[in-house]
Structure 1
Amino acid sequence: MAANRNSNANCELSLCQPCLNMDTITDANIFCRTCDELQCMDCSKVHETHTFMRSHTLVDANESNIARTKFNMKGIDQCILHQKDLEYFCEDEETLCCSTCAIVNHRKCQSVVDVKAAVESDRKRSYAKVKLQEVKEKAEKIINSVVCSKRKLEEDVTDIPVKIKKRRDEVNKMFDELEMSIVKQAKSLQTETFVKLTTKQLQNEKYLADITTCLETIDEVYENGTSIEQFIVEEKMKEEINLLHTNVDEECKGLETMTVNFAFDEAFNLPPLPFADYVSGQLSLKSHLSEAAGIITPVDKAIKITPVCCVDLKQSKDDEGEPFYTGIDFLPDGRLVVVDNTNKKCLVYNEKLEKLGSYQLSYKPLSIVAISDEAVMITSGNALRLDILRVNKSNQIILNRTKMVTTKYDSICVNDEGNFVGGTYDYSRPVRIISLTGNEKDINANFPKKIYPIETSACTYDRNTEKLILTDKYEHTLYIYDTKTNTRVVVKDDKIQEPRGVTVGPFDTIFVCSKNTHSIVQISQTGRIVSSHKTDMEYPRTICISRDKSFLVVSNACNGKRKLQKLQLTY
């Protein structure tokens, strides 16, 4: 579609804009540089009628060198109630409004800004296209599954006469009657099932057509429209998109592949006639979830979190103060490795959270990540070093090697083989890529234009979806960056208050520690708040998930009440 619009750009540029607004197609002869508009001869006469327009600069349309094609809003930017331009955006209720709506309906709202200001504060609005693409893929998979089911159903029904004919060679006439009876039943089942499947197919073809129309509109406005026009289209289409998302997801839940089968009983005795009444075989219609249904099952389902064990973190004889676990991670075998910032230690725990071994560091560690079966990497912040330690099967911790870096790193996680994603502080970019050899490079993403002090941000990376997640503590915000499309989702919600530690769990769902609500919040990759789980501790801070996605461990930052807790994930 995009290619066709580009090829017709010159044609669109030669049309009169005022006539287009009245759904009339007229060739443009004049371009008014002051109005920034193409006009036909009749429409341009308005410059002679009104005195204040006589100073406008008019040039020949062919010599105007217009930089872009205007996007025809077709009334989308008009208030339905008052037929006025949608000039304002209520941030409290997340809705567009005209000047009358702003005064009458939103005068008690805290933040009503003009559309231009709203666009400037959120320039990368990718929600509509990402959501539509997701729904489109689901709808296509549903239709493909239904078509395959119908084809399989037809193949199964066609195969039944073949089975019967093989046995009919032995019993001749009686199998003629059997064939007629069973095929008739099978055809009846086929007809009945086809009606249901066809209804489902037609409904989802309608959804797909609506999705395609929405996508075409969004593609066009992003290619030809201004940022304000893009913003308005996104907001106006949000309700329709959410409805399509809900409808297609509902269709997913009941998606089944229908098959029909005929099987003979092992003990087969020739009964008295009529044979069809005594046939030792049963015609059955069966259904089972197709492979496609497994793919399109909604992944943002709530995950149950159940406490398993918990230990209080008390100061021991050789400790300088109360333990403060700023980094935790699972080894592949289920053991837990942690770093104690207060006492400059790296420790290892078993599955019951019993301490097995420790290693004394020369600096205050900030974070830890398991990089192999028996190796971990630790960040040091101001020390500007990354230590790689070996944690052997006997729970001995040995320093393997040290890599010096130029940036202060707080959080760290695995990116791919040999590379890591490091959350920075006191640096111009909040996230960098670090190699095993110590090489560092920036990531090309639309990060907030700010420098994070220590303890105000954390990051993680989802290798399955290539999404980068970043928390902003004092903005009470979580950013989800798609590194493939260079788009982002901004998540703000009352359930997220001073977020810190973040990790990725089952179905690529995101878990983030919300300090001031004393909870762990579950978020989908599209930015939807799935659930919130209250913890048995105040100010949860650091979090990690086991390799098999079965267990979650969290520690907190409450002085005098610090804990380390293990929880089981059920889904």
Structure 2
Amino acid sequence: MAEGYQTTVHDQVGGRSVDSDQTCADDNVPGRKGKRCDPCRTNGRWNDAVVLCKTCQQHQCEDCSMNHSLNDIIVGHDLQGLEEDDQRKICIKHKQDLNIYCVDHDEMCCGLCGVMYHKQCTEVTDIKCEYIDKGDEKRIQAYRSQVKVIPEQIDIMKNEIDKLFDDFKCNVVHSTRDAVKTESKKIDEEKIVRTAITKDTDTTLATNIDDFNRIRLFTKKIRQHKNAISKQESDKHVLDFIFEFNKTLLSFIQSGDDIGSLHIEKTFTKATSGSFVRPFMLRLLASRNLKQGEDGDKEPVISGLDFLPDGRIVAVDNWNRRLIVTDQQLNNLATHLLASSPQDIVTTSDQKVAITTSSCTAVVNKREDVEVK
């Protein structure tokens, strides 16, 4: 099983391999175990790489990797040792993880290789083990987070209930104290009145006059204080402090029901096999401005695009009725004039493409098969 997909198909231009300037064949020199530094190789030097920068998607030597600590723009890039790189299995061509397995070719490749070179294969499988493991770890972390939140929610509810009881208790205590205080004040006032009456009558009895006049005077004093004494006697009462809980609360407590419930539900997710959909990073490989041709053509409008198995790109220009063939760097290799305005294009076999076109006079779609040499 190959560790990296490396095409041998030629692009019919001088017999040159489509990626001859990008292959890593020089990294496989007999007796050499290390990888070449990509920035150095671009500048014509051949230094051994010591790290892989996942952000730059480059193998780098020690000197080149030092730029990550000197240049503020690239500080914080994800640098990994080559031992980790070897474990992860990097595609030689595209410097991406080998996460696609082609059963037809019995080899591993990256997602970009799968789209470009294995689209016509009958069975291409997305290797998900690493992502399943990571997904399981994330789920366990999510479970732990949820489990951690539940006791916190119970504590919040408990605190709210405790607050209700504390407030209720505080109100009850204040109310009873106020009632006792009011009663005590009233009793003290009545006692003062009775003390004054007793003192007044005692003074009368102690008057140094004859008994007849003393009794007459004492009787007069009693008549004067009769209303005050009668009012105190008629206002005698006893306070009864009657305490009750809310009947709904009592019914709930007496019912024996749990104060809450916990339900654990399973939601099954459907696994998708053979899919290349996964988190990815977009990187600009090539771009080209489309301009109006000198022979009177309109400004191009590309309405469809696809890849040939050898890596070449085929596109259709709707306004100028043209089929355009380019290499991966968008260099024009060939142009074909079409009979009708093309709508879209798709590769159907090794060198053939199917183009959908529409008539200018009627809304009728038809298919035109073209062989690309």
Alignment TM class, shorter chain as reference: under 0.3
Larger radius of gyration: 2
Higher helix fraction (1 or 2): 2
TM-score where L is the length of structure 2 = 0.23
Greater fraction strand: 1
